[in-house]
Amino acid sequence: MNSLKNIFNPHIKDDGDFFYPIKKILGFSPKNILLFEEAFTHRSMNEINSDEHPLNYERMEFLGDAILGTVIASHLYKKVPGGNEGYLTKMRSKVVSREHLNELGRDLNLIKLVRTTISPEQFGENIHGNVFEALIGAIYLDRGFKYCEKFIYYRVIKPYVDIQKLEGKIISYKSLFIEWCQKNKKKFKFNVYEDTGKDTLKHFAVRLQLDDETVAKARATSKKKAEERAAKRAYYKLQRRIDSEMA
């Protein structure tokens, strides 16, 4: 039965094959390995616990998200004593952005430990960040807040949180473009339409208009992605102008 369940994760053959990679990632030994097994269980397994509640990483992901945000907020509060609420909020958002969390999950290669009945190739990009947050949730339940702080410091803050670099990092080009337009009273519009290309997956295309002039075009598998790509192209096309007027 276990071999059938783990058909798409051959790295997990027994408790030892899971325990030691987890210990290496954490830097300490888990007390309750079952918590970490839950943090790496995909909903496709359709497992339930003794109370007949779903057993997968989604609840721990919620918990880990809150803890990560708290630890990062505390670090920024101490590190940047002159930062106001808006500045600190923006900086925290850059650290815990979905893009950054996915990067953290990929760097630790967490996906190789996920128990699932579907092929990893079918996962969306956010699986990496979701499991990373679930891992933090498992640490909290297993060892408490102090261990979470230590893990986040060594795995997130120390290697990735550079205040000067974060200040210049753009999370959303669409948000930046809209903010610039609103600040300078410019008219803009994202004209999105379904792409009629021959791709297997449905694509959407977008024309980004600024004062009735098309400044960028893009296409992607979702409206949100297409708009973000168009805004990014528009930003680089108008970068000097936008940067000077947003300074």
Domains contained in the chain, CATH given: 2-166 (1.10.1520.10), 173-246 (3.30.160.20)
207-213 long-range Cβ contacts below 8 angstroms, 24+ apart: 208/177, 208/233, 208/234, 210/181, 210/186, 210/234, 211/186, 211/187, 212/187
Residue 42 burial by Cβ neighbours in a 10 Å radius (0-12, 13-18, 19+): buried
Evaluate if residue 12 carries a pLDDT over 70. Answer: no
* pTM of this structure: 0.69
| pLDDT at position 2 | 42
When comparing pLDDT for 100 and 137, which is higher? 137
When comparing pLDDT for 19 and 7, which is higher? 19
Q: Tokens for 60?
A: 């721990």
Evaluate if residue 13 carries a pLDDT over 60. Answer: no
Q: Which positions are annotated as active-site residues?
A: 65, 133
pLDDT in tens, 180-217: 899 899 999 999 887 766 666 778 899 999 998 999 99
pLDDT in tens, 65-91: 999 999 999 999 999 998 899 889 988
pLDDT in tens, 35-62: 999 999 998 888 888 888 889 999 999 9
Q: Tokens for 107?
A: 């760097």
Question: Average pLDDT, whole number, for the chain?
Answer: 86
Which among 136, 160, 153, 158 has a CA at the least distance from the CA of 22?
Answer: 136
